[in-house]
Structure 1
Amino acid sequence: MALRHLSLPELARRYLAKDPLSLDAEERKVLESFKERRPISQDSVEIEEAQASFGDRLADQVAAIGGSWGFIISFGVILFGWMLLNSDILSHWNLAFDPYPYIFLNLMLSMLAAIQAPVIMMSQNRQGDRDRVAASHDYEVNLRAEIEIMRLHEKMDALLERLDRDDAQISR
């Protein structure tokens, strides 16, 4: 049977056993692509990246850098250098601009943490959005595959019925 002749409500009842009015957007999209015989798969990363703003991409970069071992090690070296410079080297000439207890260093670290934490949270929120897009897309692809399998079963059943009829006519 040609699918193009079936309406969306008929497809919904036949393959999803649902009232067409109760279809969600994903199910409607799957049935439309099924009826029109066009593929539904897409790369969910490309979909999400197309929707990302400059701030979103910047948050991802900051989180990627701030959460790396390279950043942690280099930041530790800088902190150790700062303390060594202000405690030992510059203090010999009374030029230490931030002597122990490193009040200016604490201020800088607090400011960095105040800025970095919300940016990392933005990146985590984006990851959650990415996961939701991927899950929705996976559902659509799985539903489409299930409908295609049901359609193939119908074709096989029709073919087997026709073969049985042909065998019955030959045996008479």
Structure 2
Amino acid sequence: MDSLKCFISGKKIPPNEAHQGLQIRKGVFQLIHKQYPAFSENDFVCTEELNKFRKAYLLKLVSGEKKELSKLEKEVLQALTDHTKVVTQHDLAPESTFGQRLADKIATFGGSWTFIIAFFSVLMGWIFLNVFIIAAKPFDPYPFILLNLILSCLAAVQAPVIMMSQNRQEQKDRSRAENDYKINLKAEVEIRTLHEKLDHLITYQNKRMMEVQQLQMEYLEDLVNKIRS
């Protein structure tokens, strides 16, 4: 057979410019078949018409890559911004009861210079009052038994209050440590997800690049064959 018929244009073509559907790249073949549903693997198409569909397929690849990049970027942004928070405001500052707040205030005041100065002022005033001002009839004469009783009661009450405040502070520290762990775990998961998306993006780009290079090689082979003929 000296010449074949192009399925698309209907023109007769020489055998060296004829491309059978079975030999055409799958993506290009599907593009031709979409426009010409009757086109099959046994039909032939000329180089000129095939190059048109190759060009259209190449443009489709490029535009598809742009859409894929945009989609991946949106997924990355969504992974970083739209996740539910692992730590809420309630976790950072949990509600406390009146007794807990009172214990915190008492412990804070008891560990301040204000308390120390006030305590020694009252102590010295008590002693000065009973020894010098009302020495004739002191309400707490030396060795100040009433003062010792008050100080013992104060120490007995102050100690458990401070322990309550320390326990609450330890609870806060544990809560902060748990929140830090949650945040670190979330960051680790997001970093892993980001790495997976980057790996997928690199694989996708390499695949598309190889396909574009193969199409270019086909162009060159057709051009070389045409020059030789």
The bucket for the TM-score relative to the shorter chain is 0.7 to 0.9
Q: Displacement of 1:89 after TM fit?
A: 1.4
Residue 107 of structure 1 aligns with an amino acid whose one-letter code is: L
Stretches of structure 1 that go unaligned for 5 or more consecutive residues are 1-33
Aligned to 1:40: 86
Aligned to 2:168: 126
So what's the TM-score if we normalise by structure 1? Answer: 0.73
- Aligned equivalents of 1:167 and 1:53: distance in 2? 65
Among candidates 177, 181, 188, match of residue 146 of structure 1? 188
Aligned to 1:79: 123
- Aligned equivalents of 1:123 and 1:45: distance in 2? 18
- Aligned equivalents of 1:167 and 1:45: distance in 2? 49
Change (3 A) 1:168 1:38: same
Runs of 4+ in 1 over 6 A off after TM superposition: none
Larger radius of gyration: 2
What is the correspondence of 1:83-102 to structure 2 with a 5 Å cutoff?
83-91=127-135, 94-102=136-144
Q: In structure 2, the residue corresponding to 1:77 is in which secondary structure? A: helix
Residue 107 of structure 2 aligns with an amino acid whose one-letter code is: A
Stretches of structure 2 that go unaligned for 5 or more consecutive residues are 1-79, 215-229
Aligned length, in residue pairs: 133
Among candidates 106, 109, 120, match of residue 65 of structure 1? 109
Aligned to 2:202: 160
Bigger proportion of residues as strand: 2
Q: Displacement of 1:40 after TM fit?
A: 1.6
CA RMSD of aligned residues (A): 1.6
Identity %: 48
Residue 150 of structure 1 aligns with an amino acid whose one-letter code is: R
- Aligned equivalents of 1:86 and 1:71: distance in 2? 22
- Aligned equivalents of 2:83 and 2:167: distance in 1? 35
1:116 and 2:155 are equivalent in the alignment:
no
Q: In structure 1, the residue corresponding to 2:84 is in which secondary structure? A: coil
- Aligned equivalents of 1:166 and 1:45: distance in 2? 48
Q: Displacement of 1:39 after TM fit?
A: 1.9
Q: In structure 1, the residue corresponding to 2:134 is in which secondary structure? A: helix
